[in-house]
């Protein structure tokens, strides 16, 4: 080998090259690190948090659409990670609606539940397919339903079942499905959209054991107007509409079954509490006269932090669009009822 490759000049040049390469690699590594941002800076509606005790990580899911190669917009979901509920890394995409899905539009209100060794995502899929003539001064009657996806990890990827169909009835404008397991049986509680029925409905349907499909006929639990605090919204044609949104169930330490859900009250979008008289998901349900939260925020869910504290996370404000943020408030359970801690 030629000795000139070992002289001092070439060794110095080699060191410079290696140092330059190392610097470039460092830049790439830094750039590849997930972005970290404060929860106050993340625009999000319908936030859902999974506290994974095994890893000490909180996961927060958010809807996010993508532009497909065929020029269409496909719905999807991304996730943020945190260890302190204040600073969040991400987002990272964990689900994209398959191209051969029953509908492929934007996703609403994704939530993730651990069940029998898997993580199941309940996601409302939307479309621009109209199945009925639009009513004057009302939103269009478009195909919408909650579909279930499955993954081995809270970080995805979440895959659709083979049928590529919703777990809610195809002829219902349905949204915001959530999982509830009772006496070993899995159920989905969901909202029947006010756009279709005017007085929004809360419904429940039993699911198959692997959550791949519904089993049986949905049961109506109640209408939104049954809650004293839900004032509804007037329409241009004189009718009054009542929204049902964001249902989530919780069993108190005393054994009572509660449901939080959202509608509009006198101060705007709000979170109310309903209680099953029998302690069963099939009800009947009575409604607490005052909402849990009434200040232009809602679509909440409950979770326990790693210190054991009970919390609600919701988006607020509900309007204007773009201002929505995830708001986490500590809760107190007292006499089988929920209260926001002062």
Q: Going by C-beta distance under 8 Å and a sequence separation of 6 or more, which residues neighbour residue 39?
A: 82, 85, 86, 87, 88, 325, 326, 328
Chain-centre distance for alpha carbon 167: 16
Whole-angstrom Cα distance, residue 310 to residue 333?
Answer: 8
Residue 296 neighbours by CB under 8 Å, 6+ apart? 267, 268, 269, 316, 317, 318, 319
Q: Is the pLDDT of residue 158 over 70?
A: yes
- Residue 320, pLDDT > 70, answer yes
Instruction: Tell me: pLDDT of 243 over 90.
Output: yes
The span from the CA of 53 to the CA of 312, in Å, is: 18
> Please, what is the average pLDDT of the chain?
90
pLDDT beyond 70 at 153: yes
Question: What backbone phi and psi angles, to 5 degrees, belong to 203?
Answer: -130, 165
Q: What number is the average pLDDT over the span 256-269? A: 97
pLDDT at 30: 36
126-140, 191-205, 273-287: least confidently modelled range: 126-140
pLDDT above 60 (res 166): yes
Give residue limits of the domains in the chain: 39-340
pLDDT band at 33 (very low <50, low <70, confident <90, very high): low
Percent of the chain topping pLDDT 90: 82
The pLDDT score that the predictor gives to residue 11 is 31
Q: What is the CATH number of domain 39-340?
A: 2.115.10.20
Residues 282-291 have a mean pLDDT of 97
Question: In angstroms, rounded to a whole number, what is the distance separating the alpha carbons of residues 318 and 327?
Answer: 11
Average pLDDT over residues 66-95: 94
- Looking at residue 137, what is its pLDDT? 74
Overall average pLDDT of the 294-311 stretch: 97
pLDDT at 139: 86
Of 208, 137, 138, 225, the residue nearest 173 (C-alpha): 138
pLDDT at 136: 76
Estimate to the nearest angstrom the gap between the alpha carbon of 197 and the chain centroid: 23
- Mean pLDDT lowest among 139-143, 163-167, 224-228: 139-143
User: Rounded to an integer, what distance in angstroms lies between the CA atom of residue 82 and that of residue 37?
Assistant: 10
Model confidence at 28: pLDDT above 60: no
Q: Give me the pLDDT at residue 238, please.
A: 77
Q: Binning pLDDT at 50, 70 and 90, where does residue 237 land?
A: confident
* 211 — pLDDT class (breaks 50, 70, 90): very high
Contact between residue 94 and residue 77 where contact means Cβ atoms under 8 Å apart: yes
């Amino acid at each position: 080998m030629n000795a000139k490759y070992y002289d001092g000049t070439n060794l110095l040049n080699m060191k410079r090259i290696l140092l330059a390469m190392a610097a470039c690699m460092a830049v790439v590594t830094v750039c590849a690190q997930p972005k970290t941002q404060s929860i106050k800076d993340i625009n999000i509606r319908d936030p859902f948090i999974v506290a994974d005790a095994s890893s000490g990580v909180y996961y927060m899911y958010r809807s996010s659409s993508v532009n497909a190669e065929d020029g269409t917009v496909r719905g999807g979901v991304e996730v943020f990670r945190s260890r302190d509920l204040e600073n969040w890394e991400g987002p990272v995409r964990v689900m994209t609606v398959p191209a051969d899905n029953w509908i492929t539009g934007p996703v609403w209100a994704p939530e993730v539940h651990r069940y029998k060794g898997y993580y199941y995502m309940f996601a409302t899929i939307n479309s621009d397919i109209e199945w009925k003539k639009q009513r004057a001064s009302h939103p269009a009657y478009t195909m919408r339903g909650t579909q279930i996806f499955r993954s081995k990890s809270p970080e995805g990827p979440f895959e659709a079942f083979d049928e590529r169909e919703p777990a809610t009835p195809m002829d219902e404008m349905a949204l915001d499905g959530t999982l509830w397991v009772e006496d070993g049986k899995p159920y989905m509680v969901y909202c029947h959209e006010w756009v279709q029925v005017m007085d929004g409905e809360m419904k429940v349907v039993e699911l198959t054991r692997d959550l791949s499909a519904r089993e049986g006929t949905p049961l109506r639990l109640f209408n939104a107007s049954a809650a004293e605090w839900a004032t509804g919204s007037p329409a241009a044609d004189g009718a009054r509409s009542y929204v049902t949104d964001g249902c989530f169930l919780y069993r108190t330490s005393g054994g009572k079954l509660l449901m939080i859900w959202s509608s509009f009250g006198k101060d705007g979008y709000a979170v109310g509490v309903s209680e099953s008289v029998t302690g069963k998901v099939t009800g009947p349900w009575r409604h607490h006269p005052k909402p849990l939260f009434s200040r232009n925020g809602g679509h909440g869910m409950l979770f326990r932090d790693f210190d054991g504290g009970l919390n609600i996370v919701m988006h607020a404000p509900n309007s204007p669009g773009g201002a929505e943020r995830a708001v986490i408030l500590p809760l107190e359970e007292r006499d089988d009822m929920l209260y926001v801690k002062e």
